[in-house]
Amino acid sequence: MTFLNHLINGISLGSVYAIIALGYTMVYGIAKMLNFAHGDVIMVGGFVSFLTVSSAGVPAIVSVLISMAVCTVLGVLIERLAYKPLRGAPSLAVLITAIGVSYFLQNAAQLLWGSDSKVFTSVVPFNSISLAGGKLVITPESIVTVSACIVIMVALTLFTAKTKMGKAMRAVSEDKGAAQLMGINVNSTISVTFAIGSALAAIAGILLCSAYPTLSPTTGSMPGIKAFTAAVFGGIGSIPGAMLGGILLGIIEIFSKAYISTELSDAIVFAVLILVLLVKPEGLLGRHVREKV
């Protein structure tokens, strides 16, 4: 039973990583850049939800929507102000800028909201489910997180396969120049990608803080790096890869904590990444299912 409990916790944490990893992988697929500020957008999402609930007293679900809206605008602004001027610049310049934006967001949050951790109240208003005489406990956060992850996965898959904008995103990710010759506005396609990724980051931030209820300006950085790892693990640029990578990473992390060592769990997670990349440099699903977005 404890094994099952750990597995559920792992899948739940992994679902959060997966939702974050989708943002990394979509932006990478379209703009061919690693947006290292993505993790900090998660933190902003958490804070917006926290503040709207605790100070303004809005209902949890409304706070989620506000948080998504704020992060969407933030993501699009970051792209416009920081990355767009660097289109065509060497990728190292873009990478350094992304790290700069990440520190900017962390410090801005510290200035605005202080550096002490806040206690986040879960946005999920249900009680845990006990099964097998209390031996197996499923938290409502787990259920909501895993369901959100599945819904997002299905929605994104349909979006990229069926809609005009989704197909345009795939076209841009494959060949920007040819996409322009089709009449596709590459800049607005990139903006839409950042908007979707950032809205997902808001959801991920709130789910993460609901399950692990502390919130500080650096809350997003570790999950951000792990989700990036998950995206690479699954095959960066691939939507199913981000999902698979995220969930596996979550399971590995929780199992390492439970059965090996809490202190070493992060080291184990990254060691697994190194191993996978040694054997399969393109990531788990990075080859045949190259549905890059």
Partner 1 sequence: MAMLKVEDINVYYGSIHAVRGVSFEVNEGEIVTLIGANGAGKSTSLNTVSGLLPAKSGKIEFLGRDLHGIAPHRIVGLGLTQVPEGRRVFSQMTVEENLDMGAYTRAAGEVKDSMADVYDRFPRLKERRRQLAGTLSGGEQQMLAMGRALMSHPKLLMLDEPSMGLAPILVDQIFDIIKELHASGVTVLLVEQNARMALSIADRAYVLETGKVALSGTGAELMASDKVREAYLGG
Q: Which is nearer to partner 1, 80 or 167 (CB)?
A: 167
Q: How far apart are CA 272 and CA 266, in angstroms?
A: 10
Q: Note whether 283 binds partner 1 by CB under 8 A.
A: no
Q: Note whether 282 binds partner 1 by CB under 8 A.
A: no
Q: Note whether 89 binds partner 1 by CB under 8 A.
A: no
Q: Note whether 280 binds partner 1 by CB under 8 A.
A: no
Q: Which is nearer to partner 1, 257 or 292 (CB)?
A: 292
Q: How far apart are CA 254 and CA 8, in angstroms?
A: 9
Q: How far apart are CA 245 and CA 284, in angstroms?
A: 8
Q: Note whether 58 binds partner 1 by CB under 8 A.
A: no
CB of 287 to partner 1, least distance (A): 12
CB of 58 to partner 1, least distance (A): 38
CB of 244 to partner 1, least distance (A): 19
Q: Note whether 291 binds partner 1 by CB under 8 A.
A: yes
Q: Are 31 and 165 in contact, with CB atoms under 8 Å apart?
A: no
Q: Which is nearer to partner 1, 2 or 185 (CB)?
A: 185
CA distances from 180 to 33, 167, 169, 171, 173 (A): 19, 13, 12, 9, 12
CB of 22 to partner 1, least distance (A): 18
Q: Which is nearer to partner 1, 168 or 243 (CB)?
A: 168
Radius of gyration of the chain (CA): 19
Site for partner 1 in 142-181 (CB under 8 A): 164, 167-168, 170-171, 174-175, 177-181
* CA max distance for the chain: 63
Residue written as tokens 């506000």?
Answer: 66
DSSP code of residue 24? H
DSSP letter for each residue of 248-285: HHHHHHHHIIIII-TTTHHHHHHHHHHHHHHH-TT-TT
The region, left, alpha or beta by phi > 0 then psi within -120 to 50, assigned to residue 36 is: alpha
Q: Residue 38 is encoded by which pair of tokens?
A: 């993505």
Q: Would you give the binding string for partner 1 spanning residues 179-208, x where CB under 8 A is met?
A: xxxxxxxx----------------------
Q: Note whether 268 binds partner 1 by CB under 8 A.
A: no
Q: How far apart are CA 39 and CA 226, in angstroms?
A: 9
CB of 186 to partner 1, least distance (A): 7
Q: How far apart are CA 98 and CA 85, in angstroms?
A: 13
Q: Which is nearer to partner 1, 6 or 167 (CB)?
A: 167
The site for partner 1 (CB under 8 A) is made up of 164, 167-168, 170-171, 174-175, 177-186, 290-292
